[in-house]
Structure 1
Amino acid sequence: MKIGFIGCGNMAKAMIAGILKNGLCAPADITVSAKTDATLEKAKAQYGVCTQQKNAAVAQVADILVLAVKPQYYEKIIREIRGCVDSSKLIITIAPGKTLSWLAEQFSGPIPIVRTMPNTPAMVGEGITAASPNEYVTPELLDTALQVLRSFGKAEVIPENLMDAVVAVSGSSPAYVFLFIEAMADAAVADGMPRSQAYTFAAQSVLGSAKMVLETGKHPGELKDMVCSPAGTTIAAVRVLEEKGLRGCVMDAMKACSDKAKSV
């Protein structure tokens, strides 16, 4: 299996690292292109992958081609590579707003495409990726795509009409969580805790709490109730969060994110 990456930013590097760590293919079977020679040199030094300056050259050699560039560059990139792409290749996209119908129109052929939305925790092997295949993706090709996507975290197949919701709930949400961790650490620092230690306590608490949701199968509300003793410290904090409208604020933020994804 030969995999090509057009673009080699943080997400592409996270994917490459996961693919190599899980032995899906050898470094020599991965080819990347990027805007600058410096980026290509770093990728070759870090991962031992092959590099190409021309995007079409990557498309020619790849069985699976990942378009790891920003949405605004998709039309230009596809124009460059579509002469090298046919139904024998699988295209994986990671751009919000670029629908399967739009992609099919750009490629103008029966090309197997899996539209995905990963997130930055992929950089530590804990990503979550949504995947929506078009009608040309066979079950075997979808299994191959999911194998790639699961090399750097979890992956779920979803109907495409939920992709904008995925952008809000997982694609962009690490930023919300980082804000929450930073705010908790700031409060701990205000109470006298050294900053590096405050970040450790806050981040580990978020990590452990998320793991409890995933591994116990309990409703988040039930887990919250388990921490809130009658007349205790936790319920006092929860009351303030409710007064300040934490839930409504988060929901409004995610709605703004989803609306923006629709307009990209």
Structure 2
Amino acid sequence: MMKIGFIGTGNMGGALASAAARSGEVEVLLANRTKAKAETLAERIGAVVSRNEIIAREADHIFLGVKPQMIVDVLKGIAPALKERKSAPVLISMVTGPDIARIQELAGGDYPVIRIMPNMPAAVGEGVIFYACSGNCDKAQQEAFLRYMAPAGKLFPLAEELHAAGSAVAGCGPAFAAIFLESMADGGVACGLPRASAIQYAAQMMLGTAKMVLETGQHPGVLKDSVCSPAGSTIQGVQTLEKCGMRAAVFDAVTVAYEKNVELKKASD
């Protein structure tokens, strides 16, 4: 059974480690600056608590899940152990900013790299995970990654230069969607619904709407039109959303998130 190691077990690292453990195809090693955090996660998912250097020596695939400001020190710290290996591991980076070439440079070798951009719904198996592979990452390595990551959600190949845009939609999007969901629930409360029920209704509505788009292939605009009866309540609500600029606000939220992603990339170069 192949070994995969996670250096950094924050929210995203923990979500992906949990998904990999559920696959039943890998042995999971965990290392975190706060050891207790790794221990709690390891007990929950059946993983092994380890250290950065051990993961660098033993893991076939190594996930880098630390904060951007820590990646330089982490990679330089494990570089000697990586260099001593007989076979090169695959480095899997979920760090915002550094591209594949930069990860290889910091690691001190031409290692196979898979750069990923996951989102938080991976924690419940409904994530979006963009990935791009270095030229020396072979088919078998990619297929193994896709198999053990499948429990996290949907994986989409995406050119590295588009990761900033993809992240602005799928990575930042859960926060935007949560604001809309909360606002829908607030409206329901204003109309007399109990809050817990209003949140549940709004969440299920969003889940069902998204599923309809994915399973029918319909454009969202077609789905919207199918709900809007002439002179009905829905079209009146849509008119209010348009008057208040919801469409423009969401458009702008995605574009400013994209611009920030580009800025972070430039800062890491």
TM-score, scaled to structure 1: 0.95
Structure 2 CA distance for aligned equivalents of residues 176 and 122 of structure 1: 17
Q: Does 1:169 align with 2:169?
A: yes
Structure 2 CA distance for aligned equivalents of residues 74 and 170 of structure 1: 23
Aligned to 1:55: 52
Superposed displacement of residue 113, structure 1: 0.3
Letter in 2 for 1:71: P
Q: 1:76 aligns with which of 73, 76, 91?
A: 73
Conserved in 2, the CA contact under 8 Å of 1:129 and 1:149? no
Q: Does 1:195 align with 2:199?
A: no
RMSD between superposed Cα atoms in Å: 1.2
CA-to-aligned-CA distance 1:41-90 (integer Å, 9 cap, x gap): 212321221112x3111111100100011111111110011222256211
Conserved in 2, the CA contact under 8 Å of 1:96 and 1:167? no
Q: 1:45 aligns with which of 43, 46, 50?
A: 43
SS of the residue corresponding to residue 192 of structure 2 reads coil
Superposed displacement of residue 20, structure 1: 2.1
Aligned to 1:35: 33
Aligned to 1:142: 142
**Unmatched runs of 5 consecutive residues or more in structure 1:** none
Aligned to 2:15: 14
Structure 2 CA distance for aligned equivalents of residues 190 and 170 of structure 1: 30
Structure 2 CA distance for aligned equivalents of residues 261 and 115 of structure 1: 15
Structure 1 CA distance for aligned equivalents of residues 251 and 102 of structure 2: 29
Structure 1 segments (4+ residues) deviating >6 Å: none
Conserved in 1, the CA contact under 8 Å of 2:164 and 2:262? yes
Structure 2 CA distance for aligned equivalents of residues 24 and 151 of structure 1: 11
Conserved in 2, the CA contact under 8 Å of 1:114 and 1:134? yes
Judge which range, 122-131 or 94-103, deviates more. 94-103
Superposed displacement of residue 104, structure 1: 2.1
Structure 1 CA distance for aligned equivalents of residues 228 and 81 of structure 2: 59
Structure 1 CA distance for aligned equivalents of residues 101 and 90 of structure 2: 16
Q: Does 1:242 align with 2:239?
A: no
Structure 2 CA distance for aligned equivalents of residues 257 and 209 of structure 1: 24
**Unmatched runs of 5 consecutive residues or more in structure 2:** 265-269
Structure 2 CA distance for aligned equivalents of residues 170 and 83 of structure 1: 36
Q: How many residue pairs are counted as aligned between the two chains?
A: 260
Judge which range, 43-52 or 195-204, deviates more. 43-52
Structure 2 CA distance for aligned equivalents of residues 40 and 108 of structure 1: 27
Conserved in 1, the CA contact under 8 Å of 2:21 and 2:47? no
